[in-house]
Structure formats: C-alpha cells, structure tokens
Amino acid sequence: MLRRPAPWGRLVLLGSAVLLLSGCSSAQRADVEAVAKTFADPAGDPQTRCGLLAPTTLESFEESESAPCTEAIGQLPLEAGEVRSVEVWGGDAQVKLTGDTLFLTETHSGWRVTAAACRPEHEAPYDCEVEAG
C-alpha cells in the first residue's frame, strides 16, 4: 500500500526545489555576466575575446570580416558600459549593457557569445554585427 506524503511534506520538497533551481540560476547569471563583460571590454585581449565566441559564431565572423578574429575583433563597434540586465533561459542568455546587447549559449566549454554588437530593430528583434550565419 502506497502512502501519500503529508501536505507539509510536499511543500518542503517544493520549497527545496525552488531554492536549488534559483541557486543554479544565480550562479549561471554571474557566469553569463562575467563572460559578457570580458567580451565587451574594448580594451580586452583579442585572443581572449575571440575565445569567448561560440565556434559557429567565430567561423562566421572570420568569414564575414575576411580576417582572423584576433585582427578583426578590435574593429567591432562595441560599447560595453554597465550591465543593465541579465536573463538566462536554460542554456541561452541575453545581457543588455548600456551600449550593447549580447546573446550567449552554454557549451561544454562554458558560456560563449553567439551574437554581439546588437541593436534593437523596430520590426525585427535585433540587428547584430557578430552572429552565426
């Protein structure tokens, strides 16, 4: 015969799950914000910044610029500024800075930038200088 847990027992389990999930979200938000700030820093090391691009975004960027990432990354119109918001949806994230919007994805190597130098469009979501083709 199966016993049903007491109502308070279900509340304890639910509360524990919420705390566990919000803790993960908080850790993810901090990681996402750190990657976005490092990438968007115009004075940052080109090698480091290029290493923060998702592989398909890196390939697409180098192809569109007809140059290695480390040479082209300094020409991006990045205006980092302060972090205005960080949103994480599972394995994807958006970071809005005062001068830019970045999109990131979680990979086996950590969070990587999938789109940068993004400006909101009226009819379309965003127009990005760097993104996977």
Q: Residue 119: helix, strand or coil by DSSP?
A: strand
For 78-94, the pLDDT digits (tens) are 777 789 999 999 999 99
Distance from CA of residue 63 to its chain's centroid?
22
Give residue 4's pLDDT. 52
CATH number of 7-131: 3.10.450
Q: Give Rg (Cα) of the chain.
A: 19
Q: Could you state, in order of their start, the residue ranges of all structural domains in the chain?
A: 7-131
Q: Residue 48: helix, strand or coil by DSSP?
A: helix
The answer on pLDDT for 71 being more than 60 is yes
Give residue 43's pLDDT. 83
97 or 13: which leads in pLDDT: 97
Give residue 85's pLDDT. 95
Region of residue 81 (phi > 0: left; psi between -120 and 50: alpha; otherwise: beta): left
Q: Residue 126: helix, strand or coil by DSSP?
A: strand
The answer on pLDDT for 122 being more than 90 is no
Mean pLDDT of the chain: 82
What's the whole-number mean pLDDT along residues 8-15?
A: 38
